Chain A
């Protein structure tokens, strides 16, 4: 290949075939370096890979440029757009202050923590963002440290995880089909999601349930099928004082003040109940048995545990707990 009339050297970007990564990288350099907003025409003259002057038809170049802008925006690169009031033409640039990661200096110990934090997602759906963040911090000068080898993991196995995460991130309402724990028919729900909490390795989403017009918590593993947006991003507004974590913690019966239950337990048995005992005394009327007091948070939940110990536990009080246990035991025989 020989030098062309404009004086470009043979290896010039104009003379080579320019790949997508190179075109995007050059575009970023071009938009970051410029003080002024650049028109699309100027950009295609400056950045090789848009077909230079005449190689490609105008609308093909335009589409390519539109696609590239979207790729950059999806990566979080802030492209400013202004319209020239006289010509009506759009101009583009990237503000360096908005592009650049703010200064951050990490000690070696702190870099280890960041490494551990990135690794807890290593098998999950956020492995990509975590790795991307780690790379940027290192590009900012953070020391590179060895694998800390910590055996700690956040699981994100629920199929609904991605869509619900995006909805919480973008403050966007969603609709999904939900199967309740008791096996009732799956029902479609519309939710304004406020946030997600992982508890005991399971993910929950809390927010405003539009159908019930109330605050509700949903377990992601019980979402059936696809999660669809049903509103625009940025339209969900969580109450200022909302504590999503507390909502998920309260869900399922905790939170309220417990009642007291009195049980008779055979000596040395039902240790799964005894370990929560508030008080244990030998029962004078039944030799070989103890009278055990413990907190009663949820009748059905405690009735299940009491029933599971069979003939080793008898409920003395309260009567509703006693009835719930008897109902379960009769159910076994049914």
Chain B
């Protein structure tokens, strides 16, 4: 798990000695698992370490290891008592992620995360100081929403949601028994058992219009309840296949909805084919695009869009 294919053998060799030193003794199978290598590979690594030899001023073996009967003990760790310091990339990778976790209420304990950040910054020293402020992951966490969800999770309470469903343009009301908070693509989601649909559903924080923590105790989620789809952004199974052509000014469609296939058109435009969650969603998109795009197929939907635009324009003549 530690590294496996992501960490080279030489880096592993440098880490192995202090790792064993810090633990006094360890089991071969355990060490192999924690370094993500086979026991065979680990034995080869230990052989190498034990055979390391400095030839001058006189031949010495800096590392003294014993590894019999599946137990490894370091008797002398040579000059590598301690692991190598963190590189800038290593320090930045961990600290960026730790700072992100601080913004994610409901995932980890805030005080613990703050403590980790402080310890890592101190241990990484210059590598961390130089990178400060250069890399950030911003999370649309909506603290007020997240706070209530955390409260409900901690006290095992049901919540009531006013929740906006964009593709149907509906504000819905429902009671939800919270299970956990998840984050993906910069958005926070409440995952919970929805009492209205009797299913496990995910609710995106920025679509929660209002959340109230109820006095009711959240019920156990039935074992038979299905996990929500792992891929949050896959179109629904009953989606409608649509073809839209956009001009250069409408290219953002492909960027904002990267699920379809796109074909370049002369003049910088694009043909976008995608499965729309709902025909109403396509109509909204086409009206928003104005002259920057048009629905090519299905034809009925294209007519529907122009009819709606005419009705909307008629409103203005009347006002």
Residues of A participating in the B interface, judged by any CB pair closer than 8 Å? 8, 11-14, 16, 19-22, 24-26, 28-30, 32-33, 42, 45-48, 71, 75-77, 96, 98-106, 109-110, 112-114, 116-118, 120-121, 126-141, 144, 147, 150-155, 165, 168-169, 181-184, 194-202, 221-222, 238, 242-245, 248-249, 264, 269-272, 274-275, 304-305, 307-311, 313-314, 316, 322, 326-334
Binds A, one of B114-122, B150-158, B212-220: B114-122
Q: List 22 A-B contacts (CB under 8 A).
A: A13-B53, A16-B51, A25-B13, A26-B54, A29-B52, A29-B80, A42-B56, A45-B55, A76-B84, A101-B84, A110-B112, A113-B101, A116-B101, A121-B93, A128-B7, A129-B92, A138-B15, A144-B34, A154-B137, A195-B133, A197-B138, A245-B136
Q: Which of A12, A46, A77 has the most C-beta atoms of chain B within 10 angstroms of its own C-beta?
A: A46
Known: A47-B55, A116-B101. A196 touches B284 (CB 8 A): no
A129–B89 contact, CB under 8 A? yes
A307–B288 contact, CB under 8 A? yes
- Docked pose: A101 CA to B127 CA in angstroms: 11
Shortest 6 CB-CB distances between A and B: which pairs? A183-B248, A331-B291, A201-B185, A331-B290, A328-B290, A32-B79
Give the distance to chain A from B53, nearest Cβ to Cβ, in Å.
Answer: 4
Q: Which residues of B contact A137 (CB under 8 A)?
A: 83
Select B90's contact among A130, A243, A308, beta carbons within 8 Å: A130
Select B305's contact among A75, A117, A147, A332, beta carbons within 8 Å: A332
Given contact pairs A135-B35, A136-B15, enumerate 14 new A-B contacts (beta carbons under 8 Å): A25-B14, A26-B53, A48-B53, A76-B127, A99-B85, A100-B81, A114-B120, A116-B107, A126-B92, A139-B83, A151-B183, A152-B104, A152-B107, A184-B248
Select A275's contact among B14, B104, B209, beta carbons within 8 Å: B209
Tell me, yes or no, whether B310 is within 8 Å of chain A by CB: yes
A310–B308 contact, CB under 8 A? yes
- Docked pose: A180 CA to B113 CA in angstroms: 38
Known: A132-B6, A169-B131. A110 touches B116 (CB 8 A): yes
Binds A, one of B16-24, B65-73, B193-201, B234-242: B16-24
A135–B11 contact, CB under 8 A? yes
Tell me, yes or no, whether B82 is within 8 Å of chain A by CB: yes
Closest to B15 in A: A139
Tell me, yes or no, whether B285 is within 8 Å of chain A by CB: yes
